[in-house]
Amino acid sequence: MTQKEKLQAGELYRVDEELAGELSHAKRLCETYNATPRDDKEKRRTIMHALLGRHGENFNIESNVWFDYGYNTEVGENFYVNHDCVFLDTNKLIFGDNVYIAPQCGFYTAGHPLDAALRREELEFAKPITVGSDVWFGGGVKVLPGVTIGSNVVIGAGAVVVHDIPSNSVAVGNPARVIKKLPAPRSS
């Protein structure tokens, strides 16, 4: 099994030459995107088309933004990312429609073993993150590996999401916990 196959299976893996090359490619695209003026919408869109795995037609991603691989991130329609966000998309990172992300948020599919000996061997793991539709992330939210967030959810500013969050809820805190249920959204 290759290191990339181990990564995709959620097993411990090590960054090899293939993965290092893919990381470098994505980082170069991010550097170019972040250096491109905001009003050069065509160039910015072209870069995101080359970077993202799947995307809707209507999305807006502010600078500065960082992806590990890019191709593991899938975004739906009406996707908005404010400034200074990080997407460690080592494994799948999937967002539904109408997702709004405030500044300085992080979505981390990558993690490291608790065992120090394994960390010294430069082993890591990656678990997918899935986010439903109609989700709003307040400023500074962090979402950790393996989390699923339902639809019609608000994650309060500064929350650290370590467990799944059900649909139709508001979650806050560290670790994030549901503090309020929301009514199902009205159809438009």
State mean pLDDT over 138-145.
98
Sheet (strand 135-137) strand order: 59-61, 79-81, 99-101, 135-137, 153-155, 169-172, 177-181
Give the residue numbers annotated as catalytic, written as ranges: 112
pTM: 0.95
pLDDT of residue 186: 81
Domain ranges of the chain: 3-181
* Residues in a beta bridge with 168: none
Q: What is the 3-state secondary structure (H, E, C) of 64-89?
A: CEEECCCCCEECCCCEEECCCEEEEC
Average pLDDT, the chain: 96
pLDDT single digits (tens) 67-124:
999 999 999 999 999 999 999 999 999 999 999 999 999 999 999 999 999 999 999 9
68 residue type, one letter: D
Q: Is 162 helix (H, G, I), strand (E, B) or coil?
A: coil
Output the pLDDT for position 59: 95
Q: What CATH number labels 3-181?
A: 2.160.10.10
pLDDT at position 188:
62
Parallel, antiparallel, or unpaired for β 110-111 and 125-126? Answer: antiparallel
Q: What are 47-65's pLDDT values in tens digits?
A: 999 999 999 999 999 999 9
What's the pLDDT band for 144 if we cut at 50, 70, 90? very high
Mean pLDDT value across residues 132-158: 98
Q: Summarize the confidence of residues 135-151 as an average pLDDT.
A: 98
